[in-house]
Amino acid sequence: MQPNNVLQRTGDHHGRTVRACMCARAGAEWPLCLAAEAGSLEGKPKGVRAMRGVTAIVALVVLAACQTIGTGLRGNEQGEVQAATAAWATAYDSRDPSRIVNLYAPEAVFWGTSSATLRDSPETILDYFKDAPKRPNARVRIITQEIRLLGDSAVSAGAYTFSDLRDGKPVENPARFTFVFRKAGGRWMIVHHHSSRMPSP
């Protein structure tokens, strides 16, 4: 991977520009930044070398903290997306059409497992789930899930199994899903949902 603005000017200290890596690039590349700075000190007066050494240490501490915080935030967001996916399953199990539709953004698009048309409005999505109360025993169980974070958006893809009672006997229908979420007002909303039956092995 090619570095992207590996070194960036971040401030000025008594006429000397302090350089540090961008926090966004914290990881395997940022030690190279400090090494580059250290290499530029050859032939400089002792006082300059000492000051630059202190600057490098401070930059190292700040960047390490930045990396830790960034990793923690991404971990939290991944958990939030996982919870948002689970919230959809909980809403589905409630058999309340309004509760399900409230998880979709107004501009969401939805390919339902048994839908012949693309649902692209709250009204058409509600229409898909309108008969949910007529099947009070229908449930969904998430089997596998992979999450990818994309800034304020995230993808949750995996497999789930729908279950119900038919003629008093339990039936299961494995399916696969893709949710695309967008975070707005601190809440992850569904902007795209695709669901289809799992093909036979």
93 inside domain:
yes
Q: How far is Cα 113 from Cα 88, in angstroms, rounded to an integer?
A: 15
Judge if 66 and 82 occupy the same domain.
Answer: no
Judge if 57 and 94 occupy the same domain.
Answer: no
How confident is the model at residue 45, as a pLDDT?
A: 62
Judge if 62 and 83 occupy the same domain.
Answer: no
pLDDT tens digits for 6-21? 334 344 444 443 333 3
Query: Residue 68 belongs to what domain range?
Result: 7-72
1 inside domain:
no
What are the tokens at 12? 């000025």
- The answer to whether 124 touches 76, Cβ cutoff 8 Å, is no
Judge if 117 and 156 occupy the same domain.
Answer: yes
CATH number at residue 105: 3.10.450.50
144: pLDDT strictly greater than 90:
yes
Domain boundary among 41, 72, 103: 72
136: pLDDT strictly greater than 90:
yes
What Cα–Cα distance (Å) separates residue 17 from each residue in 22, 38, 64? 15, 14, 21
User: To which H or E segment does residue 145 belong?
Assistant: strand 139-150
Confidence of residue 46 (pLDDT cuts 50, 70, 90): low
As a whole number of Å, the CA-based R_g of the chain is: 26
pLDDT tens digits for 187-197? 999 999 999 99
- The answer to whether 6 touches 33, Cβ cutoff 8 Å, is yes
Judge if 136 and 100 occupy the same domain.
Answer: yes
- Residue 23 is given by DSSP the state G
26 inside domain:
yes
Residue with tokens 């025993």: 137
**Total number of domains in the chain:** 2
Judge if 31 and 104 occupy the same domain.
Answer: no
92 inside domain:
yes
53 inside domain:
yes
2 inside domain:
no
What phi-psi label fits residue 191: left (phi over 0), alpha (psi between -120 and 50 degrees) or beta? alpha
Task: Report the pLDDT averaged over residues 68-97.
Answer: 86
Judge if 60 and 121 occupy the same domain.
Answer: no
What are the tokens at 127? 């229409």
Task: Report the pLDDT averaged over residues 18-40.
Answer: 41
Judge if 138 and 55 occupy the same domain.
Answer: no
- The number of C-alpha atoms within 13 Å of 130 and in the hemisphere containing its C-beta is 8
25 inside domain:
yes
Judge if 63 and 99 occupy the same domain.
Answer: no
Total residues found in the chain within this entry:
201
Judge if 104 and 139 occupy the same domain.
Answer: yes
Lowest mean pLDDT, pick from 65-79, 82-96, 115-129, 169-183: 65-79
Judge if 84 and 45 occupy the same domain.
Answer: no
| Environment class of 108 (CB within 10 Å of its CB; exposed 0-12, middle 13-18, buried 19+) | buried
127 inside domain:
yes
Sign of CA dihedral 113, 115, 119, 122: negative
What are the tokens at 135? 């099947």
Judge if 13 and 60 occupy the same domain.
Answer: yes
Task: Note if the pTM is more than 0.75.
Answer: no
What Cα–Cα distance (Å) separates residue 122 from each residue in 85, 129, 190? 18, 11, 11
2: pLDDT strictly greater than 80:
no
